[in-house]
């Protein structure tokens, strides 16, 4: 499996990570099989959040039970989780919340430490000093090795960095071929087009400039609540080009859609949420496919974007 350096660290991680948000769709036997397939493929990076699955049946607990059954030791996997969303109520990046919620995550995942902890969404009331104190205490106690953010824009990361000492190693951002405004805003710079709207403060360039690994979430969703674009009648041209390239590279439409993200020089991680072993296998194999520059742009245009 192709690897990338996590942020500015020397930790090499697989370019594909399994997102565990949908783990409730599987029973325990299926979960164990999916994890075994991932590990066999070298996909040993697992993305969680405290809210996945809800309070009654958290995906972190389901994961921990299934992982235990694989018999693989904890130090062979990389566990990442996110916190900060209190569903339906607020976002919370206060020191005490970060500390207490991390303890709950550790308990649910049945582990002594997290490899990576991310702040899930920006909190309007965030105090950088409080986050810094929480991160220091989590690092000193050995509960968290690395820290990062999710859905943060440039200025929000800069604000955090005023106080936080640790490097922020990752920013998890929504990205797929159709949902790629962070790319469009750069390509359509200086134009009066819709794609020129910079919604995230040039976050793609900022992450590249500061060695923050972008983790592409929902790589198969066309947009918020729009559903997957593969085989969608709303994207006939995109599916035609995906099919053509799948034939060329001995892959599948699913594989080529991931190859489009892997091809970007920012060296992103793809956080795939499929609970199907065959799809995870196709995506893992696609990490070794390098589509051409022209093919990358063909896919982008086929999704309906423009080049001014
Ligand atoms: N930071 C954030 O705010 C945030 C938000 C959302 C998600 N995430 C993370 O990102 C991960 C991925 O999110 P996601 O599940 O929305 O991403 P996704 O990989 O784009 O979507 C996976 C879903 O699409 C379905 N699907 C249908 N056709 C598919 C195809 N041809 N190839 C692949 N999948 C297909 C899958 O079904 P099957 O299972 O049947 O394949 C699955 O239900 C989550 O698990 C979570 O870890 C982060």
pLDDT score for 93: 98
For a substitution probing ligand 1, which of 217, 222, 281 has the most ligand atoms within 8 Å of its CB? Answer: 217
pLDDT score for 225: 81
Whether 22 is in the pocket of ligand 1, judged by its Cβ within 6 Å, is yes
Among 42-51, 72-81, 217-226, 232-241, which is the least confidently predicted range? Answer: 217-226
pLDDT score for 27: 97
pLDDT score for 55: 95
Does residue 248 fall inside a structural domain?
no
52 is catalytic: yes
Does residue 97 fall inside a structural domain?
yes
pLDDT score for 226: 86
pTM over 0.95: yes
What's the CA gap between 260 and 103, in Å, rounded? Answer: 37
| Closest of 131, 136, 139, 89 to residue 114, by C-alpha | 139
For a substitution probing ligand 1, which of 105, 224, 228, 233 has the most ligand atoms within 8 Å of its CB? Answer: 228
Whether 212 is in the pocket of ligand 1, judged by its Cβ within 6 Å, is no
Does residue 259 fall inside a structural domain?
no
Atom of ligand 1 nearest to the CA of 272: 19
pLDDT score for 224: 80
Q: Sorting pLDDT into bands at 50, 70 and 90, what band is 85?
A: very high
Does residue 209 fall inside a structural domain?
yes
Q: Sorting pLDDT into bands at 50, 70 and 90, what band is 22?
A: very high
Q: Sorting pLDDT into bands at 50, 70 and 90, what band is 212?
A: very high
Whether 227 is in the pocket of ligand 1, judged by its Cβ within 6 Å, is no
Does residue 88 fall inside a structural domain?
yes
Does residue 13 fall inside a structural domain?
yes
The per-residue pLDDT for range 24-54, each reduced to its tens digit, is 999 999 999 999 999 999 999 999 999 999 9
Number of structural domains in the chain: 1
Q: Residue whose CA is closest, atom 32 of ligand 1?
A: 254
Whether 228 is in the pocket of ligand 1, judged by its Cβ within 6 Å, is yes
CATH of the domain at 107: 3.20.20.100
The per-residue pLDDT for range 246-299, each reduced to its tens digit, is 999 999 999 999 999 999 999 999 999 999 999 999 999 999 999 999 999 999
Question: Which residues contact residue 158 at a Cβ distance below 8 angstroms, ignoring those fewer than 6 apart?
Answer: none
Given a cut of 90, whether residue 223 has pLDDT beyond it is: no
Atom of ligand 1 nearest to the CA of 173: 1
Domain that holds residue 118: 3-234+264-277
Burial of residue 95 (number of CB atoms within 10 Å: 0-12, 13-18, 19+): middle
Q: In whole numbers, what is the pLDDT of the chain averaged over residues?
A: 97
Mean pLDDT, rounded, for 193-205: 95
pLDDT score for 109: 98
Does residue 295 fall inside a structural domain?
no
Given a cut of 90, whether residue 243 has pLDDT beyond it is: yes
Query: Residue written as tokens 């699913």?
Result: 254
The per-residue pLDDT for range 88-128, each reduced to its tens digit, is 999 999 999 999 999 999 999 999 999 999 999 999 999 99
Does residue 181 fall inside a structural domain?
yes
Distance 133 CA to ligand 1 centre (A): 33
């Amino acid at each position: 499996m192709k690897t990338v350096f996590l942020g500015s660290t020397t930790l090499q991680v697989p370019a594909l990570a399994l997102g565990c948000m949908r783990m409730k769709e599987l029973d325990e036997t299926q979960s164990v099989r999916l994890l075994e397939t991932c590990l066999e493929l070298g996909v040993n990076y697992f993305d969680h959040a405290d809210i996945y699955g809800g309070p009654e049946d958290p995906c972190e607990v389901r994961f921990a039970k299934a992982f235990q059954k694989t018999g693989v030791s904890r130090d062979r996997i990389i566990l990442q989780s996110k916190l900060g969303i209190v569903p339906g109520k607020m976002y919370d990046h206060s020191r005490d919340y970060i500390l207490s919620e991390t303890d709950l995550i550790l308990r649910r995942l049945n582990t002594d430490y997290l490899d990576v902890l991310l702040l899930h969404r920006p909190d309007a009331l965030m105090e950088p000093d409080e986050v810094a104190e929480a991160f220091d205490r989590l690092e000193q106690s050995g509960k968290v090795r690395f820290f990062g953010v999710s859905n943060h824009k440039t200025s929000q990361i800069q604000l955090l960095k005023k106080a936080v000492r640790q490097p922020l190693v990752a920013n998890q951002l929504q990205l797929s071929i159709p949902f790629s405004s962070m790319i469009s805003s750069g390509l359509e710079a200086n134009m009066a087009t819709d794609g020129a709207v910079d919604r995230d403060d040039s976050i793609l360039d900022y992450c590249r400039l500061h060695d923050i690994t972008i983790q592409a979430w929902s790589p198969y969703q066309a947009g918020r609540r729009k559903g997957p674009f593969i085989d969608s009648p709303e994207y006939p041209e995109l599916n035609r080009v995906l099919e053509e390239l799948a034939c060329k590279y001995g892959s599948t439409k699913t594989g080529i859609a991931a190859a489009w993200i892997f091809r970007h020089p920012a060296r992103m991680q793809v956080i795939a949420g499929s609970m199907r072993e065959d799809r995870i296998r196709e995506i893992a194999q696609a990490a070794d496919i390098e589509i051409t520059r022209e093919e990358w742009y063909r896919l982008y245009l086929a999704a309906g974007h423009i080049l001014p």
